[in-house]
């Protein structure tokens, strides 16, 4: 056996453990009876610890050293070289983080999430505050252990968006705000003048049976190219996608009888994630290029943001377009003949693209969504710097909501307590939603340039050309390239806001002239 094969076999076993972790997670969120929660926590902790010990062992270091020497003369873009580089980077970081810190975060996470849920239900921020302060302290220790040049946030971003930094994010946000605010003001004024741009959308609030919602959404997922021989759709409280190699990529959605778009767009969103995972080169199965070795997760994407770019591309750029509903609305009406009898395709298209500043991130439209993210990221940075105290969070949140979206949260449950992320220690992950939005428009614009007639294919419901381009340029590479490298190779430029702003301007000035 060669040194590379030894290395690959070692990583393959760690990938198997990660798939087991994912499978236990999927089961816990879709099938497990509530009584299983405590012992499931034990099972997850045990398998995670075994995977961690395996990966951070001296043996892994020796295998990486030997494999590195063996591939030293190979082209730097080869999957073998990239797999070793990925493993090396993750290994060096993982070895810098003390075991007691990892244990402290894992232990705090369980109680912190539970307290957050109680605090949110009781609208009682002070109850959650001490846990958030503890979590923040551990995140600072984590940033110190990993190391950073400029800002502690940079160290935390490594886990989610390699190459991204606090300073790059600040520049990105400035440009984004500069483009979005005038557009929002324009639409806000137009909407108000017309009695609000939500007028006429009350047909979304009729009773839509779940089974028909599921059948329609799954039919579209199949048309996009989601392979049900290697996938399935289940129900969960919060929609997600999860995979155990490219051969088993599952998605979930939730149903709201009174608001059918939640399940339909939720399913299309998760389908985008799933197409990414199903499209990874089979040769990368069980390798370092389909394993997040830092967080011990079996996943094939370059970064959280890159993954999110694909969910949003299929959900929004394809699924929320006029041509999409011109084509598929008649089929939707076959599923809901009474509910949609008096509705046209154009009315439906407008209803699912209404713009309305709201308090809740997950209910936000395409235009206001990024403000929810920018607010959270700026707060995270300030908390890490120490310029904002946990006790002052609700006030800072309300001020930021007021200055950006013109809204004041009536309580903390609909303000600072609305998301689970901070209680879980996911500091640094929020930005990837906006990075994903920005990237989605870059990739889509590049696909249009590469495929003349793409708009016509999409209007005819032919999704194979788009899926083919995305697979060739993004999906098949798994984690082989950094987000910036992928963007450069596929679009000819690094992360840039312009294509995203151009997309939003064109779409929303057409909707609201
Ligand atoms: Zn997503």
Q: What is the pLDDT of residue 158?
A: 93
Rounded to the nearest angstrom, the distance between the alpha carbon of 23 and the centre of ligand 1 is: 19
Cα separation of 504 and 434, whole Å? Answer: 14
pLDDT of 63 > 90? The answer is yes
Q: What is the pLDDT of residue 108?
A: 92
List Cα–Cα distances, 100 to 9, 96, 121, 136, in angstroms.
Answer: 28, 12, 32, 16
- Domain assignment present for residue 508? The answer is no
Q: Which two tokens stand for residue 282?
A: 């089979």
- Domain assignment present for residue 21? The answer is yes
Rounded to the nearest angstrom, the distance between the alpha carbon of 432 and the centre of ligand 1 is: 10
Which range is least confidently modeled, 105-109, 377-381, 397-401? 105-109
270 is catalytic: yes
Q: What is the pLDDT of residue 199?
A: 47
Helix (H, G, I), strand (E, B), or coil: what is residue 230?
A: helix
Q: What is the pLDDT of residue 436?
A: 98
Give residue 192's pLDDT band: very low, low, confident or very high (50, 70, 90). Answer: very low
Rounded to the nearest angstrom, the distance between the alpha carbon of 410 and the centre of ligand 1 is: 28
Q: What is the pLDDT of residue 456?
A: 98
**What is the number of structural domains in the chain?**
1
- Domain assignment present for residue 272? The answer is no
Which range is least confidently modeled, 82-91, 126-135, 296-305? 296-305
Rounded to the nearest angstrom, the distance between the alpha carbon of 434 and the centre of ligand 1 is: 11
| Alpha-helical segments (H) within 2-146 | 3-30, 37-55, 58-70, 79-96, 99-122, 125-146
pLDDT of 326 > 60? The answer is yes
pLDDT of 193 > 50? The answer is no
- Domain assignment present for residue 455? The answer is no
Rounded to the nearest angstrom, the distance between the alpha carbon of 315 and the centre of ligand 1 is: 10
Rounded to the nearest angstrom, the distance between the alpha carbon of 341 and the centre of ligand 1 is: 32
- Rounded to an integer, the average pLDDT of 153-160 is 95
- Domain assignment present for residue 376? The answer is no
Q: Within a 10 A sphere around the Cβ of 456, how many other Cβ atoms?
A: 12
Calculate the average pLDDT of the chain: 94
Threshold 0.85, pTM exceeds: yes
Q: What is the pLDDT of residue 190?
A: 54
159: CB partners within 8 A, 6+ apart: 294, 295, 428, 429
In eight-state DSSP terms, residue 506 is H
Q: What is the pLDDT of residue 189?
A: 59
Rounded to the nearest angstrom, the distance between the alpha carbon of 169 and the centre of ligand 1 is: 20
Q: What is the pLDDT of residue 132?
A: 97
pLDDT of 208 > 80? The answer is yes
Q: What is the pLDDT of residue 34?
A: 86
Q: Are strands 249-253 and 231-235 parallel, antiparallel or unpaired?
A: parallel
- Domain assignment present for residue 31? The answer is yes
- Rounded to an integer, the average pLDDT of 431-447 is 98
- Domain assignment present for residue 43? The answer is yes
Domain that holds residue 87: 3-129
Q: Which two tokens stand for residue 255?
A: 């149903």
- Pick the catalytic residue: 161, 241, 270, 380? 270
Please give the distance of CA 232 from its chain centroid, rounded to a whole number. Answer: 19
- Domain assignment present for residue 269? The answer is no
pLDDT of 413 > 50? The answer is yes
Q: Within a 10 A sphere around the Cβ of 449, how many other Cβ atoms?
A: 11
Rounded to the nearest angstrom, the distance between the alpha carbon of 5 and the centre of ligand 1 is: 34
Which range is least confidently modeled, 112-126, 179-193, 226-240? 179-193
409: CB partners within 8 A, 6+ apart: 359, 397, 398, 401, 415, 416
Q: What is the percent of the chain with per-residue pLDDT over 70, rounded to a whole number?
A: 97
411: CB partners within 8 A, 6+ apart: 123
């Amino acid at each position: 056996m060669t040194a590379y094969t030894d290395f690959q076999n070692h990583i393959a076993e760690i990938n198997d453990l990660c798939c087991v972790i994912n499978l236990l997670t999927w089961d816990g969120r879709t099938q497990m009876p509530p009584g299983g929660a405590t012992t499931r926590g034990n099972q997850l902790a045990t398998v995670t610890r075994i995977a961690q010990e395996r990966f951070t062992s001296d043996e892994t270091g020796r295998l990486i050293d030997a494999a590195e020497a063996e591939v030293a003369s190979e082209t730097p873009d080869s999957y073998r070289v990239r797999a070793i580089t990925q493993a090396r980077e993750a290994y060096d970081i993982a070895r810098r983080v003390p075991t007691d810190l990892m244990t402290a975060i894992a232990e705090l996470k369980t109680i912190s999430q539970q307290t957050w849920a109680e605090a949110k239900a009781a609208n009682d921020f002070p109850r959650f505050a001490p846990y958030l302060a503890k979590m923040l302290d551990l995140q600072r220790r984590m940033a110190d252990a990993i190391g950073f040049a400029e800002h502690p946030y940079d160290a935390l971003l490594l886990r989610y968006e390699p190459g991204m930094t606090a300073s790059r994010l600040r520049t990105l946000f400035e440009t984004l705000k500069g483009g979005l605010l005038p557009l929002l003001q324009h639409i806000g004024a137009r909407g108000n003048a017309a009695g609000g741009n939500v007028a006429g959308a009350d047909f979304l609030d009729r009773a839509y049976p779940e089974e028909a919602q599921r059948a329609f959404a799954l039919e579209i997922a199949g048309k996009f190219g989601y392979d049900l021989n290697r996938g399935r759709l289940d129900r969960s409280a919060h929609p997600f996608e999860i995979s155990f190699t490219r051969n088993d990529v599952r998605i979930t959605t939730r149903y709201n009888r009174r608001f059918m778009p939640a399940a339909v767009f939720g399913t299309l969103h998760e389908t985008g994630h799933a197409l990414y995972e199903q499209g990874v080169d089979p040769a990368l199965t069980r390798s370092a290029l389909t394993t997040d070795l830092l967080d011990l997760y079996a996943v094939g994407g370059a970064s959280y943001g890159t993954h999110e770019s694909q969910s949003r591309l299929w959900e929004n750029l394809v699924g929320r377009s006029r041509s999409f509903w011109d084509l598929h609305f008649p089929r939707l009406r076959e599923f809901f003949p009474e509910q949609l009898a008096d509705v046209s395709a154009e009315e439906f298209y407008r209803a699912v693209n209404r713009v309305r500043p709201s308090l809740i991130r997950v209910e936000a439209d395409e235009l206001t969504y990024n403000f929810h993210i920018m607010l959270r990221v700026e707060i995270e940075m300030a908390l890490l710097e120490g310029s904002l105290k946990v006790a002052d969070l609700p006030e800072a949140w309300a001020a930021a909501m007021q200055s950006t979206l013109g809204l004041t949260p009536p309580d903390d449950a609909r303000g600072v307590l609305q998301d689970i992320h901070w209680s879980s220690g996911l500091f640094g992950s929020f930005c990837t939603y906006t990075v994903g939005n920005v990237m989605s428009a870059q990739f889509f614009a590049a696909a249009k340039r590469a495929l003349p007639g793409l708009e016509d294919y999409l209007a005819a419901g032919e999704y194979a050309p788009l899926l083919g381009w995305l697979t060739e340029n993004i999906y098949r590479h798994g984690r082989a390239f950094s987000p910036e490298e992928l963007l450069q190779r596929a679009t000819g430029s690094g992360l840039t806001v312009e294509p995203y702003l151009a997309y939003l301007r064109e779409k929303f000035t057409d909707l609201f002239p």
